């Protein structure tokens, strides 16, 4: 089973917003934090300094891409000393309506302007997973990395061509391409962070990967730690230790979170009775399911169902 694909389907990664910029010096934009979201900025022309979460300073040259996967606040600017304006003020001053190019800064100079393609992706309500927790403050795709990752390089080129062509269907195309872009960046840049590298490697591990596959394929089954360990040919203690070391979560905690995240999706997107949802994700008692769900999300299944309706 392709566990990574199943995880991303469960988390419901969705592209929602894309635009192009033409920033003329001096310029600086403060982008606020935004919950469970991922943002990316692809430098098409010029240079751009990116300050992430007030602790990382990254320089983007033309062709570079930065992904900020946890919705952290960040600043985009021509020079670190340029005073940043809040994004809302920039949108108001530029008169940007969501169409065309966001132009901001000093006197426009097509040759000197910094041109970016910016995107915003969301995850499902309540989305949580060791993969998301493992993502660092940012992932950087440099020109050197693009040369070693042809699939990723081609995706970035396609997105750029689509954005500048502005042909019919461009938005739908870019949304789907950027979702694929996020996946390729996570896979290609996994070695930029030790914790992320462990989670990604776990999915390909012959035993831990098989355990993940068993859980994702049959989360409704009556799994125990002993049973999963036997299925993958490991002792109970060794399996638990290795799973924790790679995934960052105990096996049965992972299974519980998987069941509840699946239940969140079913409650929000279907009219299936709550009792049926509970049974479908492996809870024999609807009351036990409701307690576990409320403890995990701070809302009861009924409250989620009413909000979705």
As a whole-number percent, the residues of the chain with pLDDT over 70 amount to 100
Q: Taking the model in full, what pTM does it have? A: 0.90
Res 45: pLDDT: 95
List residues bridging with 24 in a β-sheet. 105
Res 1: pLDDT: 66
Q: What is the mean pLDDT of the chain?
A: 93
97-101, 174-178, 246-250: which range is least confident on average?
A: 97-101
Res 227: pLDDT: 97
Cis peptide before 26 (omega within 30 of 0): yes
CATH superfamily, domain 205-308, is Homeodomain-like (1.10.10.60)
**Which string of b and e fits 145-161 if b means at least 16 CB within 10 Å?**
bbeebeebbebbeebbe
DSSP letters along the chain, please? --HHHHHHHHHT-EEEEEEEEEEESS-EEEEPP-SSEEEEEEEEES-EEEEETTTEEEEEPTT-EEEETT---EEEESSTTSPPEEHHHHHHHHT--SSSEEEEESS--TTT-EEEEEEEEE--TT---HHHHH--S-EEE-HHHHHH-HHHHHHHHHHHHHHHH--TTHHHHHHHHHHHHHHHHHHHTGGGSHHHHHHHHHHHSTTHHHHHHHHHH-TTS---HHHHHHHTT--HHHHHHHHHHHHSS-HHHHHHHHHHHHHHHHHHH----HHHHHHHTT-S-HHHHHHHHHHHHSS-HHHHHHHH-
What pLDDT, in 10s, does the model give residues 20-76?
999 999 999 999 998 889 999 999 999 999 999 889 999 999 999 999 998 899 999
Res 87: pLDDT: 94
Res 35: pLDDT: 81
What does the block give as tokens for 244? Answer: 């924790």
pLDDT mean over 199-210: 96
Question: Which residue ranges make up each domain of the chain?
Answer: 3-193, 205-308
Cβ-based neighbours of 41, under 8 Å, separated by 6 or more: 48, 50, 60, 65, 66, 76, 116, 117, 118
**Residue 127 pLDDT > 80, yes or no?**
yes
Res 17: pLDDT: 82
Topology classification of domain 3-193: Jelly Rolls (2.60.120)
What pLDDT, in 10s, does the model give residues 179-200?
999 999 999 999 999 999 999 9
- Of residues 186 and 169, the one with the higher pLDDT is 186
Burial group, residue 28, by CB count within 10 angstroms (0-12, 13-18, 19+): buried
pLDDT mean over 115-144: 92
pLDDT mean over 228-251: 97
**Residue 177 pLDDT > 70, yes or no?**
yes
Res 190: pLDDT: 94
What pLDDT, in 10s, does the model give residues 255-303?
999 999 999 999 989 999 999 999 999 999 999 999 999 999 999 999 9
């Amino acid at each position: 089973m392709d566990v990574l694909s199943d995880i991303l389907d469960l988390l419901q990664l969705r592209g929602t917003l894309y635009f192009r910029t033409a920033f003329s010096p001096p310029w600086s934009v403060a982008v606020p934090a935004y919950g469970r979201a991922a943002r990316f900025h692809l430098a098409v022309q010029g240079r751009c300094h990116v300050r992430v979460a007030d602790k990382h300073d990254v320089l983007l040259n033309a062709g570079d891409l930065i992904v900020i996967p946890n919705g952290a606040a960040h600043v985009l600017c021509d020079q670190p000393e340029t005073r940043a304006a809040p994004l809302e003020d920039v949108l108001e001053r530029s008169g940007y309506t969501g169409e065309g190019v966001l132009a901001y800064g000093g006197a426009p100079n097509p040759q000197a302007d910094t041109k970016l393609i910016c995107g915003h992706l969301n995850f499902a309500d309540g989305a949580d997973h060791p993969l998301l927790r493992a993502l660092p403050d940012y992932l950087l795709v440099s020109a050197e990395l693009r040369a070693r990752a042809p699939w990723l390089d081609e995706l970035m080129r396609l997105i750029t061509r689509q954005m500048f062509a502005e042909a019919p269907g461009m938005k739908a195309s870019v949304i789907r391409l950027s979702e694929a872009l996020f996946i390729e960046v996570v896979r290609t840049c996994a070695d930029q962070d030790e914790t992320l590298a462990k989670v990604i490697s776990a999915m390909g591990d012959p035993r831990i990967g098989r355990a993940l596959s068993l859980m994702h394929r049959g989360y409704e089954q009556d799994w125990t730690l002993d049973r999963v360990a036997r299925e993958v040919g490991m002792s109970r203690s060794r399996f638990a230790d290795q799973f924790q070391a790679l995934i960052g979560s105990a096996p049965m905690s992972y299974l519980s979170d998987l069941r509840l995240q699946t239940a969140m999706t079913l409650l929000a997107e279907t009219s299936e009775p709550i009792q049926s949802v509970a049974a479908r994700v492996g809870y024999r008692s609807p009351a036990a399911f409701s307690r576990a769900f409320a403890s995990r999300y701070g809302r009861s299944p009924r409250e989620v169902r009413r909000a979705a309706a």
